[in-house]
Structure 1
Amino acid sequence: MSGLVDRVLGLFGGRADATPARRPGAPLALVYRGPAARPEGCSEAVAALLAASRHGFDVRYVGPDEDLPLTAETLAGAALYAQPGGGTLSHAYKKLRHQRGIIRDHVAGGGRYLGFCLGGYLAGATPGFGLLPGDTDRYIDSPGATVDDDEDTLVGVSWRGRERTLFFQDGPHFLLERDARVSVLGRYPNGTVAALVAPFGAGRVGVVGPHPEATADWFGDARLPMHDARDLGLELIDTVMS
């Protein structure tokens, strides 16, 4: 994965948590940063992943304290909107419930939604933006789950037939309606869905319960062995953009 790391650090001036370099004229990718994405570092890791992708995004932050507000006008110019992890679903939805309609309209009109962990929960319906053909629930509460608490840890995922280990912190699994038209990218060891891409109107929604965007400092701070899975995050981006 050294090539990916080099690309990220080059784009971010040597720091994976810095503001992405501007790319005028490139497709715009918006990453939420604000009170519905805590702790610090969640939004920045998603922005770094998007900047390292092959799509050449102009990555910008959007939120209440950013230069760009999360409005219909801002979303209208974006190819993709990303909702990072961080915090609890109830708190995040209180902060974003007034944007539910504009996010749904943006995706239904052909936009892309990318949700990591909490962003995956928010794609569900109880509560959430209602972007999925089904809903979400906590993986740790599912029968046969290999993780039983909400501490930072590792989780195994079968990703398109490849066994991988990802950073995990109380992420969702995805409950699908019968005959839902989705592409399942990853499953947890108990068979529940860990990552998927689904249509929504004319747009597409990509969600993942674990954290393929996690950088080395996440593992170091949690005293966990490093398992770089950002290549899987890039696959998720490619699939939702296809």
Structure 2
Amino acid sequence: MNRWRFLLGAGAAAGVLAALGGAAGAGYMKLSGDRPLALIYRGPAACAGCSEAVAALLRGAPSGFRTEFCGPGEQVALSADSLAGASVYAQPGGGDVRQAWRRMRGHAEEVRNFVHGGGNYLGFCLGAYLAAADPGFGLLAGVGVEGYIYSAEATVHDQDDTVVGVAWRGRRRHMFFQDGALFRPKPGTPVTVLATYDTGGAAAVVTGYGSGRVGLVGPHPEADRSWYDDAGLSNPDGIQFDLGHDLIESTLRRD
């Protein structure tokens, strides 16, 4: 079954918490040392396996995050209190944007306040769409978000799992892709474009919101080997996570 369209039920998420490395409650955040905390949404607005892949990417990043899942089926809720202890909030891939927004809109003010106050937001595919407004968290000023497959000269025209070529910091690379976002910064907008599609449109960007930072990517730098195997795909570059780590570290950077 396509991991993008299979939504993870709240009960199932809670049932597999221990097996997937989830923590034993909010007290974990106070007892896990000095490593920065990344909260990753897991629940019905994310697809099966997407939250876990983002968590693994964050744990392997140079900043050495400890990770905690939050959401309606988790022992840690997505709330102002839980965000207050985090350095990063990550929104993984999922299904339809409007359906996901109906589940997430009650947290919009909490997420906006977190980022505006100095927190970091990471959006992967659906999470990137949700960073925009109407519908979305409203974290972007001067950056439009649309579907790459609908753009002029796009090399992909459907929602099937595939691999796309990008220029990441000018170097040709390949990434797992499924109906990912395209970003259109307006002239004069302070934004760093990390990667572009073959059309020249932005595939990964970092920008600011208030005192915080927002890192967004259309394709999936968190995709592990199982994603490719399940879809019958291969990556010419091999399975590497350096692009995702670059997105994370570039979002955290304050310079």
User: Would you say same fold, with TM above 0.5?
Assistant: yes
Task: State how 1:132-143 maps to structure 2 within 5 Å.
Answer: 132-133=140-141, 134-143=143-152
Pair 1:197-2:206 in alignment: yes
Q: What are the superposed Cα offsets for residues 77-118 of structure 1, whole Å, 9 maximum, x if unpaired?
A: 100000000111011101001111110110000000000000
Counterpart Cα distance in 2 of 1:137 and 1:27? 32
* Cross-structure match for 1:87: 95
CA-atom RMSD, angstroms?
A: 1.4
* Cross-structure match for 1:19: 21
Cα 1:230–1:161 change in 2 (3 A) is: same
The answer (yes or no) to whether the contact 1:212–1:228 under 8 Å persists in 2 is no
Deviation at 1:48, TM superposition (A): 0.2
The answer (yes or no) to whether the contact 2:22–2:69 under 8 Å persists in 1 is no
* Cross-structure match for 2:186: 177
Q: 2:133 aligns with which of 125, 136, 144?
A: 125
What amino acid is the match of 2:117?
A: G
- Percent of counterpart pairs with the same letter? 51
What TM-score do the two structures reach when normalised by structure 2? 0.85
* Cross-structure match for 1:9: none
Question: How many residues are matched?
Answer: 225
The answer (yes or no) to whether the contact 1:20–1:48 under 8 Å persists in 2 is no
* Cross-structure match for 1:231: 242
Tell me whether 51-60 or 161-170 shows the greater mean CA deviation: 51-60
The answer (yes or no) to whether the contact 2:40–2:69 under 8 Å persists in 1 is yes
The answer (yes or no) to whether the contact 1:195–1:208 under 8 Å persists in 2 is yes
Counterpart Cα distance in 2 of 1:231 and 1:212? 8
Deviation at 1:34, TM superposition (A): 0.4
Deviation at 1:121, TM superposition (A): 0.4
Q: What are the superposed Cα offsets for residues 115-160 of structure 1, whole Å, 9 maximum, x if unpaired?
A: 0000000011131111122221100000000100000001111000
Counterpart Cα distance in 2 of 1:73 and 1:201? 19
Match of 1:95, SS state, is: helix
The answer (yes or no) to whether the contact 1:20–1:51 under 8 Å persists in 2 is no
Counterpart Cα distance in 2 of 1:143 and 1:107? 32
* Cross-structure match for 2:10: none
Q: What are the superposed Cα offsets for residues 150-194 of structure 1, whole Å, 9 maximum, x if unpaired?
A: 000011110000000100000010122221100000000001110
Deviation at 1:54, TM superposition (A): 1.6
What TM-score do the two structures reach when normalised by structure 1? 0.90
Tell me whether 220-229 or 79-88 shows the greater mean CA deviation: 220-229
Match of 1:156, SS state, is: strand
